[in-house]
């Protein structure tokens, strides 16, 4: 009878002396490893590393330089992306990019902290993302990924994927704001 010698790995040695005749040693405790992705500006990004498609990101510090009333206002300066917002408080604001039109909101995905906000029940103005779940004051960063992403996101990410990250409060806090918008009409 022919016998082959097999080299045992460390995991086989841990199975017990009856398995391989090797001596079992107690494993060394592993040290804690913390992994976090930072952009070149030092801000945490929701974009997975090594994504082959182009992306755009804006932090809350940069958003402080322009008027952000609703969460979709954070996207007003994103390249190759248009937000169909007709008036302040418009709940039917949808996004469109170069490869999709404003009549196809289901071809772009909107996420907030990994939760899908896009309404995929239809593809029209009456099926906007549920952005009201995120307050504009809670936004820490908004990232936009352009184009399809194979298995990274669902097939509806054909046009763009918007990833909104909210900040975690470190202590008890509250937020209140008052805004006044007027428009004069003269005949």
The 10s digit of each residue's pLDDT in 80-118 is 888 888 877 777 788 888 777 777 777 788 899 888 888
Give exposure, 39-69, as e/b (b: 16+ Cβ within 10 Å). Answer: eeeebebbbeeeeeeebbbbbbeebeeeebe
Query: Cα–Cα distance between 63 and 137 in angstroms, integer?
Result: 10
- If you search the block for the tokens 């974009």, which residue do you land on? 47
For the chain, which residues make up each domain, given as ranges? Answer: 55-166
Half-sphere exposure of 17 toward its Cβ, with a 13 Å CA cutoff? 3
Q: How confident is the model at residue 12 (pLDDT cuts 50, 70, 90)?
A: very low
Closest listed residue to residue 144, CA positions, set 53, 36, 73: 53
Q: Which residues contact 17 (CB under 8 A, 6 or more apart)?
A: 23, 24
Query: What pLDDT digit, counting tens, does each position of 40-90 carry?
Result: 445 567 777 667 777 888 888 888 888 788 888 888 888 888 888 887 777
The yes or no reply on domain 55-166 and CATH 2.30.30.90 is no
């Amino acid at each position: 009878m022919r016998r082959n010698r097999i080299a045992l790995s460390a995991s086989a040695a841990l199975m017990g002396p009856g398995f391989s005749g090797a001596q079992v040693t107690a494993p060394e405790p592993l040290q804690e490893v913390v992994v976090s992705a930072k952009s070149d500006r030092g801000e945490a990004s929701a974009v997975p590393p090594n994504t082959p498609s182009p992306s755009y990101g804006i932090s809350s510090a940069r958003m402080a330089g322009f008027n952000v009333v609703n969460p979709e206002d954070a996207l007003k300066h994103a390249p190759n992306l248009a937000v169909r917002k007709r008036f302040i408080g418009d709940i039917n604001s949808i996004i469109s990019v170069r490869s999709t039109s404003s009549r196809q909101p289901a071809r772009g995905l909107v996420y907030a902290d990994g939760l899908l906000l896009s309404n995929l029940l239809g593809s029209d103005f009456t099926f906007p993302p549920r952005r009201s779940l995120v307050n504009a004051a809670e936004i820490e960063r908004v990232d936009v990924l352009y184009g399809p992403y194979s298995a990274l996101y669902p097939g509806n990410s054909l046009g763009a994927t918007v990833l909104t990250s909210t900040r975690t409060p470190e202590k008890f806090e509250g937020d209140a704001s008052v805004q006044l918008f007027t428009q004069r009409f003269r005949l």
